[in-house]
Amino acid sequence: MDTVARNKAGMEPVKPLLQKIEAINTFKEVQTYITNMAPYGGGAFYGFGVYNDLKNSNMNAGYMSGGGLGLSRDYYVDPNVEDKLNKYQEFVAKMLQKFGEDEVTATKNAATIVAFEKSLAAPMMTKEERRDTRRMYNPMSIEELENLAPVIDWNAYLTGIGVTNIDRIIVTDPGYFKAMNEVLKTRSVADMKLLLRWNTINNALGSLSTDLEKANWEFYSKEMRGAKKQRARDERALGGVNRAVGEALGKLYVEKKFPPEAKQKAQEMIDNVLLGFEKRIAQLPWMSEETKKKALEKLSKLTVKIAYPDKWKDYSALEVKGTADGGTYFTNANNVRKWNFDKSIAKLGKEVDRTEWGMSPQTVNAYFNPVNNEIVFPAAILQPPFYNYKADEAVNYGGIGAVIGHEISHSFDDSGARFDGDGNLRNWWTNEDSEKFAAAGKKLVAQFSNIVAIDSTHLNGEFTLGENIGDLGGVQAAYEGLQIFLDKNGRPAEIDGFTPEQRFFMSWGTIWRTKMRDEALKNLIMTDTHAPGMYRAYMPLKNVDAFYEAFDVQEGDNMYLNPEDRVRIW
């Protein structure tokens, strides 16, 4: 919020890093810089992280992945969005000028940077390929990694970031590393310095002076997503605090804003939706008893986390300095990255702490974590329009109930279904059931891919398949859960002339009401595994027989699908 101090400091906070890049003379020094920068978000090309071992989910393992780019991969390889890549190149040139380059040099360097990034983007897995977790699990010895990409001194890198006594690393994209090796062999040190300089500038823009923050917003939000106005500064600042120390803020949030009754009623609803999902699995006509038994076993092992963690994160090792003590927004942001990195590295080779949360309580969202076989519902999603513990249960089941069902369904979507009840990447399907499941998935892919969202841009049914299975299964399970609730508690009267079943489906449509500008819609289709909300609101319902019964949907109605064309999975 202290824009006076930020504007007075200007670019100064990032200059020490830029000076270090300028001093690089050899490829070995490029590697040393990347190693030294690893705790602060890395430099480029590759990065190390620690997560559950996909095939031994109780233990933390080391992963090697490709470095980040200024845009997501598709913008570099899809000719249909070449205009956006050109705009990005103009943005790079503009920012390089802000940091002291003349127009001619900045234009030339921007072209080099974008071409360099393009050569790294092309060999990366596609976003559709990355959805198959099996492709991402490639354990290698250090020697095998060295053979894959010998241009890098991997021992020096690992030792430099504090990783010792490691006998294998899981490489997420071997094809990229093989290609990266060839790219780095042909590129000059001067080109590498350009890319490192740009990555450093681009990552810093949002935490330097207000004119640089605005320029960053103008490209990534206004140009790429069609935003018209920047959020108020206090909202942006709150977002920064939320990202940095979310659980500290969350502890205050739940104390003041989250009634215990809401958690208690949500638990009852989750129990009913789980029962509903169990009932649907048991009755599946396409699945064999052998696979059903294992599916039900997995469901029984599902962990549910509601509202907030039992054990809060300890932020005492995080160093945050005020301006009076020489701190800046930029250096504090870097300190947060280092704190997260150090915490991550400390987990390597140790048992996974399954009490940890991946979202803060004040986040309006929910998630499924396949390696922990857990579904998590932060406190903030347990409020309207998703949930109101004082409201009509049919509305609640169509809102948060279907979101609960959605997250449960992720345990059984085309990606989550590859993990067993203990969170291990292990096949528990018969071949025949697996083929039937894949065939149903293809029908759902086709339904969504046939939708033209804007101009000639179709939805990407393959990329969004997991989320679409989640929506379809979620609505079905929540509907069953509502029926279980009504059987126990009796049917309420109509409200405004609508039955509980109608209110249920109307609530589902309500939570996905969405309005967005054309550029935001195009960007979302390119980058998000979820279909846009306006399609989530009605597409799953076209496959749900109970929806047809609730509203007496007949042939000729806009949402009518022939029974044989309806997709039935969970």
Q: Give tens-digit pLDDT for 297-325.
A: 999 999 999 999 999 999 999 999 999 99
Residue 226 has a pLDDT of 93
Asked if the bond preceding 385 is cis, omega within 30° of 0, the reply is: yes
- The structure tokens listed for 31 are 């590697």
Residue 230 has a pLDDT of 95
What lies within 8 Å, CB to CB, of 113 at 6+ separation is 89, 92, 194, 195, 198
Give the residue-averaged pLDDT of 373-385.
Answer: 94
Give the integer Cα–Cα distance in Å for 552 and 546: 10
260: pLDDT confidence band, cut at 50, 70 and 90? confident
Q: Give tens-digit pLDDT for 312-361.
A: 999 999 999 999 999 999 999 999 999 999 999 999 999 999 999 999 99
Q: Give tens-digit pLDDT for 88-106.
A: 999 999 999 999 999 999 9
Reply yes or no on whether the pLDDT at 402 is more than 80: yes
Name the amino acid, one letter, at 21.
Answer: I
For residue 325, the 8-state DSSP code is: G
Give the integer Cα–Cα distance in Å for 293 and 298: 9
- Measure the N-to-C terminal CA separation of the chain; round to a whole number of Å: 49
List, in order of start, the domains of the chain with CATH numbers.
3-230 (1.10.1380.10), 264-300+385-565 (3.40.390.10)
| Side-by-side strand order, sheet with 374-378 | 303-307, 374-378, 367-369
SS (H, E, C) 410-426: HCCCCCHHHECCCCCEC
Reply yes or no on whether the pLDDT at 257 is more than 90: no
Residue 262 has a pLDDT of 85
Reply yes or no on whether the pLDDT at 74 is more than 80: yes
Length reported for the chain: 570
Residue 546 has a pLDDT of 98
Q: Give tens-digit pLDDT for 129-140.
A: 999 999 999 999
Residue 386 has a pLDDT of 93
| Side-by-side strand order, sheet with 46-53 | 46-53, 56-66, 169-171, 139-140
41: pLDDT confidence band, cut at 50, 70 and 90? confident
Reply yes or no on whether the pLDDT at 43 is more than 80: no
480: pLDDT confidence band, cut at 50, 70 and 90? very high
CA distance to 31, 43, 163, 199, 222, per residue, from 37 (Å): 10, 6, 15, 11, 30
557: pLDDT confidence band, cut at 50, 70 and 90? very high
For the chain, give the mean pLDDT.
96
Give the integer Cα–Cα distance in Å for 423 and 54: 8
Question: What percent of the chain stands above pLDDT 70?
Answer: 100
Q: E strands, 45-130, where?
A: 46-53, 56-66
Residue 274 has a pLDDT of 97
165: pLDDT confidence band, cut at 50, 70 and 90? confident
